[in-house]
Each structure stands twice: as C-alpha cells, then as structure tokens.
Amino acid sequence: MGDARVEKRNRPPKSCEPCRIRKLKCNRALPCDTCTKRGKDSLCQYAPNADRTDRRNTKGGTMSERLKSLEDLISSLAAKGVSADSAMASASTPEHSTTGQTQMLKDSDAGSVTHSASTDDPPQALSGGSLNSVQASYVDSSHWSSILENIREIREQLSPSDVHEQVSAADSSTNGTDLTPGEEAHSNTDLVFGQTEALGLQDILGSLPPRHVCDSLVSHYFRAKHTIMPIVHPFKFQQEYESFWDAPANMPTIWVALLFAILGMAASLYEISGMNDRSSSGRLIPPAKSLSKRTEQCLVLGRYADADQYSVEALIIHMHSCYVRSKDSDVNLWMLMGVIIRLAIRKGYHRDPTKLPGSNLSPLEGEMRRRVWVSIFQIDALMSFQMGLPSMIPSDDCDTELPKNLEYSDFYPDITVLPPPRPLSDHTSILYTIVKARIMSMFKMVVGHTRSLAPPPYEGTIALDSELRIAYAGLPDGFKYKPLSQSIIDSAGTILNRTTIEMLHLKSIIVLHRKYITAYRHDSLYDPSRRACLEAAVTVLDRQAELYQATQAGGQLHDERWMVTALTTTDAILAAMVVCLELTIRMREANLPREQDLPMVKGDGEDFARYFAAIQTPHQIWSEASKYSTEARIAAHALGSTIERVHAYRDTQAQYSVPQGLQGLLHPLDSASQVRSPPLDHMPRATDGMEFIDWGLLDNQFQDPLGEDLDLNSWILDIVGGSNSMDLS
C-alpha cells in the first residue's frame, strides 16, 4: 500500500494564473476584478486543467531557458553593485541628447503652442527608455532594469506563464511585502516630511471632515480656476470622489492624500482671502494646516515614491497650499519642489506619452501628464531664479509637449483618441497656462544667458531682447496688458492673468539688462540696455500702484487683494531696487568734483524726477505690509533710505549751484518720510567697484536663513561706494 501511487483529480483551477500565484481571491471573471484593479487585464488567464506544464516545442523552451539565464545573470550583477559602477562611469562621460531645448515654443499649424526640438536628429533620437509595466517608473534604455523589462517582454511572447512569477515577485518588492518588521515599524519616517504620526488609513479617514464640508471644499477648489494649477481632471476626480464615499477603505492611500491636498488647498484659499472660519452656509472649515498634515501622513503611509499614480499631483497641490499660506518665500518649498521634479522624472512625466515606449497610458492620462509637467516646468523656473540657482530640470532629456488647447469636457476617461486642439482664440481653462509657457520659456532663456559661466556677447543680449518683445507681441490680445479703466467688465481672473504674464515679460527685460545699470556705465553703446531696464522697472512699479488702488475697499480687485500681493511683491521689489540703485548712482556722479564731472544727457533731470516719483507708492505699500511680512519690511527700509538720501541731497544742492541736468531734484515731491540722511559727501568716489555685481545676491536674498538681518540699503551703498573690501564678483 505504501508503494501505491495516489492519483490527484485533474480539476480545472478556480483562479486565474496571477491570482493563483499571488494567492489572491478571484471572482473567475475574464478579466477578474483583481486583475482589473491591478491593471493586469492582459495577464488574466485560466489554465484548462490542473496540469499547467507548458508543452511548448523544444526550441521554444530552450530559448526561454536561455533568456531566463540571461535575466538571472543581469539581476545578479545588479545585486553586486555593477549597475552603480556603470552609472558613475556613464555620469563622467555623459551623452547629451540633441533633441535639445524643450523650452522653445512656437505656434503650430493647428493653432496650439508646442515645445519645439532641434531638428538635427530624427524624432526617435529620444525614444530610448521605457515606462516600467509593473509600476509607473521611467528608466533609461541603457539601465539594467530597462534591459530586464525588455527580456521579460520577449519571454512573455515565448512563455506567458513565466511572466506571472516575475510580476508577482516585482509587485511583492514594490508594494513593500518583503519588508522586515523593523523596516515596517519605521515606515512613518520620511526624508522629506520627517517623523509623521504613526496612523493607519482608518485613523486618517476618521479625521476626514463630514461629507457636506468636503463637498463644499472640493467645489471651492475647482471653482478657483485662476488660482489652482490645471493638474487634476475634474470629471475624472468626481467619479473617483463618488467611489470613495461608497467605499472609503477601498481607495488607494495616495488618492486619499490627493483628496486631503485638495481640501487643504481650498481651506488655504478660504483663510488667505480673509473669509470667516465659516462658509456662507455656516459649515465649519477645518484649519488648512491640519489638512496639510493629513496629506503628508497619507503620502508617507502610501509610499509616494513607489505609488503608481496620484503622488506627483498630490505633492504639487500640497506644496502650492503651503506656498499660498506663507507670508514670505520659504526655502523648504524649494527643497520640496526638487523632490517633486525627481519623482516626476522617475515616473516619466518628462517624456511625451506619444514617444514613451512601453506606455499603456490612456489619451486622458497622457494629456493630463502634459499639464502636470508644464506646471512643474514653470514653478521650477521661478523658484530656481529666486534661489539664484540653475534650473533643477535636465532640459536636454525632456521632450514633453505643451498641453493641447482642450477644455476638460473635450476629453474624458474613456476617450480613445484626443480631438484636435481648439484655436488659441478659444479661451479654455488651459489657455492661460499655454500662453504663459511661451513667456516663461523666454524668461528661462534670459536667466541662462545672464548666468552663463562664459560672458555672453552684447549682440546676443540685444537679439534676446528682440525675441522677448516679439514673443509678447505675438500673444493673443486677451492676454496683453489693458488698463484697469478699460477692464471694468472683465473678471478678476482675467485681469490677474494679464497682469501675471506682463509682469513676467517685464521681469525678463529687467533681468536681461540690469547688469548695465552699473557695468560700462559711461559707454553709450550700452545706453539702450540701461533705458530698457529702467523703463521696465518703472512700468512694474506703475502696475503695482495701479493694482494696489484696485484692491482698496470698493475697488475692482478688493476680494482678490491677497492674490495681487502674491503676484506683485517679488517682481516689484526687484524693480524697486533697480530704480533705487539708479537714483543713488546718479546722485553719486553728480557729487563728483567739477574736474571729474561727467557729461549728462538732456532730459536726465526729468528722468530722475520720474524715477523718484515711481518709488513713492511702493514705499507706502510695503510700509503698511511690513507688519506681517519680512520681505515688505526689508523693501520698505531700502526705499525709505533712498527717499531720505534724495531729500538730503536736494537740500544740500539747494545751498549750492545745481549741476545742469539735475534741476528736477528741486521740484517738490511728496515723501512718506521726512527723516534726513547725511549728504553723499561721505560716500567713496571710486567707480571701479560697480562693474562686478552678483545680482544673484538680490534674487535669493529672502531665502537666507538670516533674512531678518538683511539690509538692501547697505547692498545699494556697497555697490555705489565701490567698496573693494567686499567680494561681490
């Protein structure tokens, strides 16, 4: 009896192959619910009976075995650290893609704006790399994991059943099922967010506001079209939102993070807009800070770095929420932006979906990824400039096109092909982002030009100035500046969109030419740059004064005054410092001994008076705002000191003969300050020190941890005084 062989019944299996391997529940549908939720519909297969031996021909089996051996070899080499050595070697001799600059924009024949690339190489030059089919992770074509993915695809064609085991192993690794108990215990500690409270998803869901409050906040978020970034499809989100309330525990943790991020952003808008803690219907609005904390906990709990979707969008909205609540610039947000960029690149957002091999993205997902990437591109350009550092985006490796000019209703979750883009004359919810991207691209070119390690030729500066003006002139009329007196029927969002784009354009001109405020001061060749810079700076200050009036009680933008402040502060400070520097330099030059007196241009006195008048209103604005803003306090002090110097110099010159060309100084001008500073006799007369100014010190001054001690007035005097004791080069 012991030698008798027990025959097993050859019953058909009740589970599909993936569920059987993973030991998951299977409802025997084709595809089953489990495979559908995991996005593995194509792998859902049922064996005809219990005998699952793959009866392929000998040649096919041999080929599969050889591929398996090769795959094991690559895996073992990677485990031994060979991949790290290769990565370091390739980093020392990088190959730069020649498809190049994605920032350059042009109008396509269809009327949309797209990123253009160099035509030196064919389009497929950037076709390397793939989107990992196991999780949303982009890897370069030369990376060992990309090679493994290609081998798996070949093996799948030869022996589909082998792939199930590989998918199971990969999913087990990426979902954290192979973590040791010690690692799992510390999963609430994150490099970005630090130590978060160790809560489970049920605990976090228990802190969610009631449904009616969430409905109100979500509605407020999507109605704030001119404040939020276009990175969440409202119709798709609404479907997911309804599913969430039907079964909250069944939604991915990262999606819950996205929900909390949206709630936090909406609550932030309530807070900064000056609304009461209760909405108009009397519903209590939770503190935005507490909602942001829940967002962070969900991101850490859901392992945002490995999540298939939602993580990039949740992080961006979370960062935006923190930004709008902050009174001043925060270096921590710039650090968080770096994490967002790296995560987006890891997930392939920097590659256009149409050029990404191995991608199973739907048309809606691909279009939304374009909208996410253009938002990341624009945030990085501005944040990096404010930090005085290069962009964090490797532009040579990016080919994501601009979004299509489509309304959300034009493409929906089940759409199979995107419709043609609308013309730029159609004002869609994405058109502002598309139009702004053209000016942002020019701004990024200007920053690269001015911060080049090799001094750029002046001819290049003039050519870039021409490109800037052509780009702005080519914008749709609805996005060009129009006086507020002619905008009485326009919405606040429309006005602010026009203002933002013009401010960015003017800032580009200032940054391009500002070095010539001091450099080559008395070489007439560079007079056009000085005039362009000063005219742009005065225009920025004029716009600030115009908008400030509109934000007063009863004004057209009173309800949006917080947005006006956020949009104009940084650019206006830059413009004000340029004007203050010019005023101080002119007074210093007029104070030179007669034998050193330099010829003055006709009309200089009138220009001086105009520049002086331009800083009066900004001084008043920042003096009022200095109670709650460090940036405003620093700027108000610098402007107040400049105003004092002008008055002191005017009083001194009134006692003596006034140099020709500065008669405008004697015209009475109102000032918020009557304090007199010493005449400029005590300022050094040397002119050599002004040739070498690091404007980056001004760009990132408010990011300094010691920002309370910064003194822009001293910065101006150090430049004008030409002190050789300070290394400003």
Q: Are 590 and 659 in contact (CB under 8 A)?
A: yes
Q: What is the pLDDT of residue 169?
A: 45
Q: How far is CA 316 from CA 134, 296, 401, 415, 604, in A?
A: 24, 12, 20, 26, 48
Residues of the chain with pLDDT under 70: 1-11, 49-64, 66, 77-188, 274-283, 327-329, 591-604, 654-710, 715, 721-729
Q: What is the pLDDT of residue 322?
A: 93
Dist. CA 10–CA 4, nearest whole Å: 18
Q: Are 315 and 339 in contact (CB under 8 A)?
A: yes
Q: What is the pLDDT of residue 522?
A: 83
Residues in the chain: 729
Dist. CA 410–CA 421, nearest whole Å: 9
DSSP per-residue codes, 204-227: HHHTSPPHHHHHHHHHHHHH-TTT
Dist. CA 532–CA 464, nearest whole Å: 13
Q: What is the pLDDT of residue 230?
A: 95
Q: Which CATH number fits domain 10-50: 1.20.58.220, 4.10.240.10, 3.30.420.60, 3.40.190.10?
A: 4.10.240.10
Angle among Cα 650, 656, 657 to the nearest 5 degrees reads: 95
531-572 pLDDT tens trace? 999 999 999 999 999 999 999 988 899 888 888 888 888 899
Q: Name the strand (E) or helix (H) holding 377.
A: helix 363-387
Q: What is the C-alpha R_g of the chain?
A: 31
pTM: 0.73
- What are the counts of helices (DSSP H) followed by strands (DSSP E) for the chain? 25, 6
Q: How far is CA 110 from CA 107, 180, 405, in A?
A: 8, 55, 10
Q: Are 243 and 293 in contact (CB under 8 A)?
A: no
Q: What is the pLDDT of residue 366?
A: 96
Dist. CA 131–CA 412, nearest whole Å: 23
Angle between helices 144-158 and 82-92 (to 10 degrees): 120
Backbone region of residue 51 per phi and psi (left: phi > 0; alpha: psi in -120 to 50; beta: other values): beta
Dist. CA 629–CA 622, nearest whole Å: 9
Dist. CA 86–CA 100, nearest whole Å: 24
List 113's β-bridge partners, or say none.
107
Q: What is the pLDDT of residue 359?
A: 79
Q: Where are the alpha helices (DSSP H) in 17-134?
A: 17-22, 33-37, 58-79, 82-92
Angle among Cα 644, 649, 652 to the nearest 5 degrees reads: 130
Extents of the domains making up the chain: 10-50, 187-404, 532-721
Q: What is the pLDDT of residue 526?
A: 94
Question: 3-class SS at 228?
Answer: coil
**Closest C-alpha to 343, from 318, 377, 315:** 315
Side-chain half-sphere exposure of 385, counting CA atoms within 13 A: 24
Instruction: Find tokens 């495979």 and name the residue.
Output: 35
Q: What is the pLDDT of residue 546?
A: 95
332-341 pLDDT tens trace? 899 999 999 9
Q: Are 582 and 589 in contact (CB under 8 A)?
A: no
Question: 3-class SS at 129?
Answer: coil
Dist. CA 611–CA 531, nearest whole Å: 12
What's 440-497 look like in SS3?
A: HHHHHHHHHHHCCCCCCCHHHHHHHHHHHHHHHHCCCHHHCCCCHHHCCCCCHHHHHH
- Classify residue 440 as exposed, middle or buried by CB count within 10 Å of its CB (0-12, 13-18, 19+): buried
Dist. CA 460–CA 447, nearest whole Å: 13
Structure-token pair, residue 584: 């101080």
Backbone angles phi, psi at 118, to 5 degrees: -65, 145
Contacts 24+ apart (CB under 8 A), 338-343: 338/392, 339/192, 339/315, 340/312, 340/315, 340/316, 340/376, 341/376, 341/380, 341/392, 341/393, 343/304, 343/305, 343/311, 343/312, 343/315
Cis peptide upstream of residue 209 (ω within 30 degrees of 0) = no
Beta strands in 108-233 (DSSP E): 113-115, 130-131, 138-139, 189-190, 194-195
